[in-house]
Amino acid sequence: MSAADFDAVVLAGGRSSRLGGSPKALLQFDGATLLRRTLEAVRGSRRIAVVGPDDLLAEVDAFRRTVADGPPRLLLTREDPPFSGPAAGIAAGVQALAADDDGVTVRRAPFTLLFACDMPLLAGLPELLLGGAARAPAAKLWIPVDADGKRQPLACCADSAALAAATPKAGGAAGLAGLPVRNLLAGLPTVELQLEWARRHTSDVDTWQDADRFGIVPPAP
């Protein structure tokens, strides 16, 4: 896949309440923050919208400086109201990707990857999802399913035009506040990708017990 083939929305705006408020996006794993690792996983994107607070701007800018071959359009945006959930965050990211810095509508990449920022082992999954999309072009959503049949809606690939059309129909960022992601994605024809390593790629960090499994320690006071 070339850089023209996909955009990405990275969700990094939760309260991290089960981590005592420590921003999970900035937790360190293997020498990099979880946000940086997610951005690295989608660095081939044409455009990336990070949905999260202004506290992440330094990390976003630091990643931008590492992309030597013409950085993708990388921006930080926010769902409104803040902390209104991942469905509202996706809607905000999709809206942000639709225009350039002057507000002019831009041409979408064919696919949009949707990822939460709390999966330390995400690397490799974007390629698997895009490969699945190439093999099943009639679908509009490609979602990994682990060996137990669990779907991973915050680690999926969507047809960009279909996702953009579904967003206002679902109420946009304001109308999706507090609602599950399935309310946004339910109308998209879906292919479930039975991926052997789906659970490994999508294992996330919600609690300090989760963090401990990865060797992630709380930040210094």
CATH homologous superfamily for the domain 3-213: Spore Coat Polysaccharide Biosynthesis Protein SpsA; Chain A (3.90.550.10)
Over its length of 221 residues, how does the chain's per-residue pLDDT go in tens digits? 454 599 999 999 888 888 888 889 999 999 999 999 999 999 999 999 999 999 999 999 999 888 766 556 899 999 988 999 999 999 999 999 987 766 667 788 999 999 999 999 999 999 999 999 999 999 999 999 987 888 999 999 999 999 999 999 999 888 999 999 999 999 999 999 987 777 788 899 999 999 999 999 988 76
How distant, in Å, are the alpha carbons of 39, 112, 220 from that of 81?
24, 23, 30
Q: Beta-strand (E) ranges in the chain? A: 6-11, 28-29, 32-33, 47-51, 73-77, 111-116, 141-145, 155-159, 190-194
Q: Where are the domains of the chain?
A: 3-213
User: Against a cut of 0.85, is the pTM above it?
Assistant: yes
CA 52, 112, 29, 205 dihedral sign is positive
Q: How far apart are CA 99 and CA 183, in angstroms?
A: 24
Q: Is residue 205 within 8 Å of residue 118, measured between CB atoms? A: yes
3-state SS of 125-140? HHHHHHHHHHHCCCCC
Three-class DSSP category at 210: helix
Is 114 strand, coil or helix? strand
Three-state SS letters, 57-83: HHHHHHHHHHCCCCCCEEEEECCCCCC
Q: What's the CA gap between 6 and 159, in Å, rounded?
A: 9
